[in-house]
Amino acid sequence: MREASLVLAIDLGTSAVKTALVSLAGEALAVETRPIRTRLLPGGGAEQDPEQWWEATCDAARATVAAVPQSAERTIAVACTTQWAVTVPVDRSGHHLGPAISWMDSRGAPYVRRAVSGFPQIMGYQVYKLWQWVRLTGGCPSRAGVDGFAHILFLQHERPEIYRAAHKFVEPMDYLNARLTGKVAASFGTMFPYWLTDNRDPHRIAYHPQLLAWSGIDPEKLPPLYPVGSVVGELLPEVAEQLGLSPRIPVVAGSCDGQAAALGAGSVQDFAGYFYVGSTAWMSCHVPRKKTDLRHMLTTMPAALPGRYVVMAEQGMAGRFLEVIKDNVLLPAGDPAVAFPNDVYGYLNELAASVAAGSEGVLFTPWVNGILVPADDPFTRATLANFTHRTTRAHLVRAVFEGVAFNLRWLREHVEKFVGQPFPKLRFIGGGAMSDLWCQMFADVLGVPIERVASPRAANAVGAALAAFFALGRASLEDLERAVRVDRTFVPDDKRRVEYDRCYAEFRHLYRLLKPTYRRWNRGRAKRQRLIPAENR
């Protein structure tokens, strides 16, 4: 029955939750998806409803289990992987006390800057504090306020009633685990984006008293830490009944999407590179040791495999720009005069494919919330540049596709230097890989063969399931690597590469040209915003 065993994997992203029943062969036998909403607020706020997460997860999981014969008997574990740098305040039973603060939320930035500042300083950080943070954690709290460190400080200062009432603050995967098992806990990997743990030994990670003191965060508000691959607990009987599963099924400690994705891409060996494009984008690989490049905001985090690290190089919004341009430019939501195509994203793909490489000079820079990596620049913004009277919606859409690809090329240069060797090829996963056009575009822009894995949309869920098989002793590393198949390889086209090299040079030049303007304009806006009382923002 080894091959017949299944893991129920839950992949909670920014815009949707997917559930899949995954076999040891890496096959997703059934997949269900439910949408997730984000509420954008004045002053840089971005929140989601954890109850919607839970309801969508249960609904999708129930349908997934029902779709596979004998799934209740064959399912040996549940494993969650989710978006991260998202903070949920919970009570003792693991139920939320307020909205989840998204990775897009920057309202805690002023409090982070106060916590990390001092004399003498570099890059806005007091020198000794910065040295300690990098030495212990591998990175440091973002002065842009887009991580768990900032979120807790925001609650502490501007939502004190929630801060006081909270039993613990947890990441989304740990929130789901708490609802599944009734146990509030975190793993060595999932608490990484709070920058409060000593990560020097991946087998022995713990909260560090000096970092806690600098943060001002009550250590009692932080969840206990479990080793990667631990079993948090068993499904609560009422949850098992709701999902259609047998009781007493173990729930394996969750992982960040970047940790699970490395396994879902088949990038099990050190330095085997891959990239992901969904709502967000990143490029990564496993590495044998902890490392940091602070100048380019690159670091490593504990991997989903015990004793390993994985490169952390997430760029923020990517595929979600197609949703933004769809709703705000091309097909305004709620406009009765606009008829939506049945397949909106297929329509956008066709529009982009109708225009030649280079979009006739139209350039898009995908930095709507500033730049995370490879430059810590919270003030630069997205730009659509070089319009003419001949520019059409097809040019705009293609420019968005290409801008995301150019941004990944910029990142790739620094990730390769960081790991100390080039990527002769790259695996591609995420919803963006469903587009043949985008796959070929990445091959042309990056200049290396792009291997699209089978079922790229389910790669995070597959990775979470494979990590669970490994944690329970049901699979070896070789089994994990063999489980991920390549669907198609896209080879660079020399003619398009020449055009994209020229466009990429202008893409980089546009950043250097506009950076001072954006900094001057948006830093002033941020200062003015902070003068508005919190209750009026």
- At 229, is the pLDDT very low, low, confident or very high (cuts 50, 70, 90)? confident
Report yes or no: 453 and 264 within 8 Å, Cβ to Cβ.
yes
Specify the pLDDT at position 3: 64
For the cut 50, the answer to whether the pLDDT of residue 533 exceeds it is no
d(CA 417, CA 5): 41
More confident residue, 293 or 526: 293
Report yes or no: 288 and 309 within 8 Å, Cβ to Cβ.
yes
Cα within 13 Å of Cα(410), Cβ side = 27
Among the ranges given (43-57, 260-274, 318-332, 496-510), the one the predictor scored with the smallest mean pLDDT? 318-332
Cα within 13 Å of Cα(484), Cβ side = 33
- Per-residue pLDDT of 310-360, as tens digits, reads 999 988 888 888 888 887 877 766 666 666 777 888 999 999 999 999 999
Report yes or no: 30 and 68 within 8 Å, Cβ to Cβ.
yes
Specify the pLDDT at position 334: 64
Specify the pLDDT at position 528: 52
Q: Phi and psi of 503, rounded to 5°?
A: -65, -40
Torsion of CA 284, 286, 289, 291, to 10 degrees: 0
Per the listing, tokens 């954006």 go with: 518
- At 97, is the pLDDT very low, low, confident or very high (cuts 50, 70, 90)? very high
For the cut 60, the answer to whether the pLDDT of residue 534 exceeds it is no
For the cut 50, the answer to whether the pLDDT of residue 54 exceeds it is yes
DSSP letter string, 81-112: EE--S-BEEE-TTS-BSSPEEPTT--TTHHHH
Specify the pLDDT at position 147: 94
What contacts 355, CB < 8 A, 6 or more positions away?
Answer: 392, 394, 395, 398
- At 529, is the pLDDT very low, low, confident or very high (cuts 50, 70, 90)? low
Query: How far are the Cα atoms of 357, 395, 414, 433 from residue 401, in angstroms, in the given order?
Result: 10, 10, 21, 12
Name the 3-class secondary structure at 242: helix
- Per-residue pLDDT of 351-391, as tens digits, reads 999 999 999 999 999 998 788 899 888 889 999 999 999 99
d(CA 26, CA 448): 26
- Per-residue pLDDT of 408-430, as tens digits, reads 999 999 999 999 999 999 999 99
Specify the pLDDT at position 329: 79
d(CA 89, CA 98): 6
Report yes or no: 363 and 385 within 8 Å, Cβ to Cβ.
yes
What contacts 165, CB < 8 A, 6 or more positions away?
Answer: 89, 91, 97
What contacts 316, CB < 8 A, 6 or more positions away?
Answer: 104, 280, 281, 366, 367, 368, 369, 370, 371, 372
29, two tokens: 């036998």
Specify the pLDDT at position 5: 95
What contacts 415, CB < 8 A, 6 or more positions away?
Answer: 273, 283, 284, 285, 298, 311, 313, 423
- Per-residue pLDDT of 177-219, as tens digits, reads 999 999 999 999 899 989 999 999 999 999 999 999 999 999 9
The dihedral region occupied by 124, where left means phi > 0, alpha psi between -120 and 50, and beta the remainder, is left
pTM score of the predicted model: 0.89
Specify the pLDDT at position 41: 95
154, two tokens: 């925001």
Among the ranges given (23-27, 145-149, 318-322, 325-329), the one the predictor scored with the smallest mean pLDDT? 325-329
For the cut 90, the answer to whether the pLDDT of residue 279 exceeds it is no
HEC sequence for 431-464: HHHHCHHHHHHHHHHHCCCEEEECCHHHHHHHHH
What contacts 292, CB < 8 A, 6 or more positions away?
Answer: 134, 138, 139, 298, 299, 300
Starting at the edge strand that comes first in sequence, how are the strands of the sheet with 100-101 ordered?
39-41, 45-48, 100-101
CA-nearest of 278, 276, 279, 277 to 38 is 279
CA-nearest of 411, 366, 413, 354 to 511 is 366
- At 64, is the pLDDT very low, low, confident or very high (cuts 50, 70, 90)? very high
